[in-house]
Amino acid sequence: MPTILGQNQYGKAENRVVKITRDGATHHIKDLNVSVSLSGDMDEVHLSGSNANVLPTDTTKNTVYAFAKEYGIESAEQFGIHLARHFVTSQEPIHRARIRIEEYAWERIANSGEGEHSFVRKGQETRLAQITFDGSSWEVVSGLKDLTVLNSTDSEFWGFVKDRYTTLPEAHDRILATDISARWRFNWSGDEGEMPDWDASYEQTRRHLLEAFAETYSLSLQQTLHAMGARIIEHRGEIDEIRFSLPNKHHFLVDLAPFALKNDTADGAVYFAADRPYGLIEATVLRDGREARIPADLTNL
């Protein structure tokens, strides 16, 4: 049966590239999701299987990361123009390049002391509340999910257990990023006259969470979790218990040595932002003498 090969294109989709630029203690972040799609003289790879005209999709991925280091990311448009021009002008069989970019925006969390390296993802988190009343006692649990934060320095992870399956290198300057999911339980007795100002309580709790994240020099996400919880218990008298579920959003330094590019954390680096698998760190912080009532599995709340 005669057939015709119709429109075709190929490339690497969703290259998650994070570029940190260091300007002294002030860091800048660019966070992109870059998809490359190329087309041109690609009949043979489909018809006979000859790869002679095929620049591997793996190479298109490497190009995205290498360009981020070599030329930086001024804007999504500028970065996309640079990539598209490169593929079409450097590879004779490639006649068209389409670069699609999603950019994730970050706002600064004010760091106390010197240094500006803490960010919160733009766009609102989801605020949560659960109220239970059995005719005599009240339980109010509030919380939030999808509050995404990132420190581009002041995070280390080393001195951990090493067994025969351990390959993780020790890190002395890494990115720490997580989507904060937290639930906190109020000690309100039901007395109308003593009812907390729920909105003010939420805003202050959120602010303390962000500040504690930004100000903690972290040796593990577990330690940062505890610092955030302790900060809430210490500053918010209306809250007795807070539980966290924190995914460790790993950012891996890209190995650019094959392209003769140095990619060191110290002078601003390019990272691969992995979405899975992720470490998942969960714990409760309680006021001394109070009982833990928030379920361990937050999806049940």
Ligand X SMILES: O=c1[nH]c(=O)c2[nH]c(=O)[nH]c2[nH]1
- The residue (of 23 and 163) whose beta carbon lies closer to ligand X is 163
Answer yes or no whether residue 248 interacts with ligand X by CB under 6 A. Answer: yes
**Count of residues in the chain:** 301
The tokens for 248 are 């460790």
Q: Burial, 278: exposed, middle or buried (Cβ in 10 Å; 0-12, 13-18, 19+)? A: middle
57 is catalytic: yes
59 is catalytic: no
Answer yes or no whether residue 278 interacts with ligand X by CB under 6 A. Answer: no
State in angstroms the smallest separation of the CB of 235 from ligand X: 24
Answer yes or no whether residue 221 interacts with ligand X by CB under 6 A. Answer: yes
In our burial notation (b when 16+ CB lie closer than 10 A, e otherwise), range 199-228 reads eebbebbbebbbbbbbbbebebbbebbbbb
User: Which stretch in 100-108, 191-199, 214-222, 265-273 sits in contact with ligand X by CB under 6 A?
Assistant: 214-222
Cis, peptide link before residue 295, omega less than 30° from 0: no
- The residue (of 258 and 277) whose beta carbon lies closer to ligand X is 277
- Among candidate residues 27, 28, 250, 251, the one labeled active-site is 250
The tokens for 92 are 């004779």
* Of 60, 151, 220, 263, the one binding ligand X by CB under 6 A: 220
Q: Which residue, among 54, 15, 34, 20, has the nearest Cα to 272 in the 3D structure? A: 15
Q: Binding mask 98-137 vs ligand X (x if CB under 6 A, - otherwise)? A: ----------------------------------------
State in angstroms the smallest separation of the CB of 252 from ligand X: 11
- 3 state DSSP class of 13: coil
Answer yes or no whether residue 156 interacts with ligand X by CB under 6 A. Answer: no
Distances in Å between the Cα of 141 and the Cα atoms of 159, 186, 241 are 37, 6, 9
State in angstroms the smallest separation of the CB of 175 from ligand X: 11
- Among candidate residues 21, 57, 59, 265, the one labeled active-site is 57
CB 119 within 8 A of CB 251: no
19 is catalytic: no
* Of 157, 184, 244, 271, the one binding ligand X by CB under 6 A: 157
State in angstroms the smallest separation of the CB of 296 from ligand X: 17
Cα separation, 252 vs 232, whole angstroms: 31
Residue ranges of E strands in the chain: 15-23, 26-40, 94-103, 106-108, 118-121, 126-133, 138-151, 176-186, 239-248, 251-253, 270-273, 279-286
- Residues near ligand X (CB under 6 A), total: 7
State in angstroms the smallest separation of the CB of 168 from ligand X: 5
Answer yes or no whether residue 279 interacts with ligand X by CB under 6 A. Answer: yes
Residue 238 one-letter amino acid? E
State in angstroms the smallest separation of the CB of 280 from ligand X: 10
- The residue (of 60 and 248) whose beta carbon lies closer to ligand X is 248
Residues in contact with ligand X by CB under 6 A are 157, 168, 220-222, 248, 279
